[in-house]
Amino acid sequence: MSFLRKTGGHWGLQVAAVVVLAVSGLPAWSHHSHGNYLTTEYKHLQGTVREFHWMNPHTWIYLDVRGDDGQTTLWVLEGASPAELLRDGWARDDVNVGDTISVRCHQLRDRSNGCLLGFLTPEGGVEKEWD
Instruction: Give pLDDT tens digits for 94-105.
Output: 999 999 999 999
- In sign, the C-alpha dihedral spanning 58, 59, 64, 66 is negative
> Alpha-carbon distance 65 to 59, whole Å?
19
Residues 30-71 pLDDT 10s: 345 677 999 999 999 999 999 999 999 999 999 999 999 999
What does the domain layout of the chain look like in residue ranges? 2-31, 43-129
Q: Is the pLDDT of residue 86 over 50?
A: yes
Q: What is the value of pTM for the model shown? A: 0.75
Question: How far is 105 from 118, CA to CA, in rounded Å?
Answer: 5
CATH number of the structural domain 43-129: 2.40.50.1010
The pLDDT tens digits of the residues spanning 17-33 come to 444 444 444 444 434 56
For 13, the enclosing helix (H) or strand (E) is helix 10-24
Task: Please state the three-class secondary structure of 48-107 as a single string.
Answer: EEEEEECCCCCCEEEEEEECCCCCEEEEEEECCCHHHHHHCCCCHHHCCCCCEEEEEEEE
For the chain, the average pLDDT equals 84
